[in-house]
Amino acid sequence: MKSCEGCHSPAGPDETSLIPRLTDQSETYLRDSLEAYATGKRPSGVMKVALSQTSSEDRKKLASYFANKSGPTETGRPSEILSRGKLLAERGDRTRGIAACAACHDAAGVNEAYPRLAGQPVPYLENQLGLFHSGTRGGSAYAGVMTRAAAGLTDDDIRALAAYYGALPQD
């Protein structure tokens, strides 16, 4: 766990990082993600190496460990891009087939296999949305849902959503 915290410390990576914050995620999401990395369903050279010496039981323990940590709370910054991101996150855009992100993410009672997005580094969110948009992001059994959800996003939409979710406190 200490070696994982080298990149994924509970204090969180800085706001320019491509590394996600693991604190405040559900144990289900973390476990599914670790399994997807370990089995190659979610490609990452770094994570493949990091998980190469772990068992399924080790990965369950890691998921539990990080799910029970809390991260820092930050306050958002108002701007036009945040307003656009908030609108897409809360309402989506039916004319372009974009569902509201909040229907699946960061709401009480949603599927615990879906990640919390609030407080993640903006570059990380932009990168992940871009990978889903291009159809190259693997993952758990729900990766296809996000690939379809991100298909209608423009580059500006991706930047706005990443800015909005990155500015939200992790609570």
For the chain, how many helices (H) and strands (E)? 8, 0
Residue 103 DSSP class: G
pTM of the prediction?
Answer: 0.65
30 vs 58: CA distance, rounded Å = 12
Both structure tokens of 78: 């108002």
Report which secondary-structure segment, H or E, holds 148.
helix 143-150
Tell me the per-residue pLDDT of 94-143, one tens digit each, with 9 for 90 and over: 999 999 999 999 988 989 999 999 999 999 999 999 999 999 998 888 89
Instruction: Look at the block and give the residue holding tokens 């029970």.
Output: 68
Tell me the per-residue pLDDT of 47-98, one tens digit each, with 9 for 90 and over: 988 998 899 999 998 988 888 776 654 444 447 888 999 999 999 999 999 9
What architecture (CATH level 2) is domain 2-67? Orthogonal Bundle (1.10)
State whether the Cα torsion 56-57-61-64 is positive or negative. Answer: positive
| 152: helix, strand or coil | coil
CATH code for the structural domain at 80-167: 1.10.760.10
Contact 103, 96 (CB under 8 A): no
Residues forming CATH 1.10.760.10 domain(s) in the chain: 2-67, 80-167
40 vs 86: CA distance, rounded Å = 33
Tell me the per-residue pLDDT of 134-162, one tens digit each, with 9 for 90 and over: 999 988 888 999 999 999 999 999 999 99
